[in-house]
A and B are shown apart, each in its own frame.
Chain A
Amino acid sequence: MQLQSMYQEIILDHYRNPHGRGLREPFEAEVHHVNPTCGDEVTLRVHLDGDTLADVSYEGMGCSISQASVSAMYELVIGKPVDEALATGEHFMTLMQSKGDASVAEKLEDELEDAVAFAGVSKYPARIKCALMSWMALKDASARALSATSTTPAGGQQA
């Protein structure tokens, strides 16, 4: 059975008990991303304090991989400067492109913490998009939040 390699216990834990779930205020940007091949969805908000991700809040529906990925991402990026969070996103992308090569996962253990458990997903091309969706949403929302805060210096648009 190959399944355990993808559905690591840590992934199922994030799926059953998601961290940071729920949409919160304040926020400077909200994005809605979908995976059009399967209908997975995530709505994600970013609240910046300067260039730090003070909060990342989200709601979504989808498979265990997509939902666990956003939960693991939340843990990784909260309180981090945007550029550091996006660099972590690049590491996650590298992991997703590793085609199950264990040495890639090993090298990224420190940077990705819990998210390194998604290494098994990289062997299933059809599921990689599920894991990446939340990271794409974060990248998009962060860019929008940065441009919103740079044009509205008084703390951005409050909902």
Chain B
Amino acid sequence: MTQTVSRPAGAQQAPLPLDVEAIRADFPILTRTVRDGKRLVYLDSGATSQKPRSVLDAERDFYETCNAAPHRGAHQLAEEATGRYEAARATIGAFIGAPAEEVVFTRNSTEAINLVAYALSNAATAKEPAFRRYAVGQGDEIVVTEMEHHANLVPWQQLCERTGATLRWLGLTDDGRLDLSDLGTVVNERTKLVAVTQQSNILGTINPLGEISARAREVGALLLVDGAQSVPHQPVDVTTLGADFLVFSGHKMLGPTGVGVLWGRYEVLDALPPFLTGGSMIEVVRMEGSTFMPPPQRFEAGVPMTAQVIGLAAAVEYLQRLGMDRVQAHEEALTGYALEKLAGIPGVTVIGPPDTVARGGAVSFTVEGIHPHDVGQVLDDLGVEVRVGHHCAWPVVRRYGVPATTRATFYVHTGYDDIDALADGIREAQRFFGVGQGEVS
């Protein structure tokens, strides 16, 4: 649930829920400077997050003390590596309220979504009848939204092209929310799967999954939730989510690159054929054909990204120590402050919900008369690192009639001072390009 941060105008800023100074000391990269000695103001956690020392230490410790290929070999190192790998699976599962056997490791959210999309098309031709239950084919429909990251759109377009299924989507309202007015017709008896983001990476919107889940249940469709921008920033519990799948990326939640998670309800995972095949995922292999392990091993072909999985478990433990409720409250306070600051700069327009109700900390905006790239360049010159462009959500920027946006995203080490630096930087860009604040170009 989200709470609205209310603060009397002009009053001292309320203390933030997290101790920003103490947290910053945990992130080695935040001690460096950029662009000729400027303090690094990292406002691009939505693209990838920085890593605390405990995550880096966990990876290093694995390599230094028990590096071996898990689930192979019977020597001591292999046993220890397997133990650490599976312990990490349990830790990461518990973080989202899931038992370990429902947690599949992938490279990132993108691969997790592709895994499901390919399993659904592979199901049509699977020789095992048990794997055909969720087969997608001609006459079936897949539903996405106009708000999706390309990673939760293109794999479904491709699934439809492979199978002859039809892609349908829910549109957006002018204030950056999902338009659910036609939910009842877009999601119907032909719908096989609904794929929707929990938190928009560009608008910041937190979507009403309950309503979508109820409709998916009603028509017997699967629900996949893209949690790449929600799992790092708010408590997520799969026992109350109402979904069949949840995907997220380690590198966006203080963890290493190269590891992501597909959570699936066991019953559903168990009825899916594999996506990638090879070592570790097999039961019996003969020259004539092979049988496969149960989930999660069925979906983890090859030697896994062991050190990264262990690093991700350390990231999860770091977040648990802070408390996800407080992480969310922290970002909500920052978002409220940022929205207030940006509203005070003439010529700046926020693309997305204008207040903190059902909204996360991705703040996209345009500056009248200055292209986002140029805004980003001026900010970069001041040490403020933001994302510019279409944020891998091209249909969203198109929907709002802008070529691109500048986006600031927040995390546990972000403080009011970072947002002040952003606001000052925008004013500097206006001054540099001679626009806004009463000046003419």
Contacts and interface: CB of A to CB of B under 8 A. Distances in A.
Given A7-B374, A38-B373, 13 more contacts: A1-B381, A2-B381, A3-B377, A16-B441, A38-B389, A39-B389, A39-B394, A39-B397, A40-B373, A62-B371, A63-B373, A63-B374, A130-B373
Contacts of A38: 372-373, 388-390, 404
Interface residues of B, number: 19
Interface string B395-429: 00100000110000000000000000000000000
Contact of B432 (A3, A41, A63): A3
Interface in A58-75: 61-65
Interface in B319-347: none
B35 interface: yes
A2 B373 contact: no
B371 A64 contact: yes
A3 B397 contact: no
Nearest to A35: B389
B182 interface: no
B378 interface: yes
Contact of B389 (A1, A3, A16, A37): A37
B379 to A, nearest CB: 11
Contact of B373 (A1, A3, A12, A62): A62
Interface in B65-102: none
Give me the 7 closest cross-chain CB pairs, A-B, nearest first: A63-B373, A63-B371, A38-B389, A39-B390, A39-B404, A3-B381, A64-B374
Contacts of B128: none
B21 interface: no
Contacts of B404: 38-39
B64 interface: no
A68 B35 CA distance: 25
Interface in A32-87: 37-41, 61-65
B288 interface: no
A2 B381 CA distance: 7
Contacts of B267: none
A3 B429 CA distance: 10
A6 interface: yes
B128 to A, nearest CB: 40
B44 to A, nearest CB: 13
A6 B377 contact: yes
B439 interface: no
14 contacts: A2-B35, A3-B381, A6-B377, A7-B377, A12-B433, A38-B388, A39-B390, A40-B403, A41-B403, A61-B403, A63-B372, A64-B373, A65-B373, A65-B374
B339 to A, nearest CB: 24
Contacts of A61: 403
Nearest to B373: A63
Nearest to A2: B381
A65 B373 CA distance: 9
Interface string A1-23: 11100110000100010000000
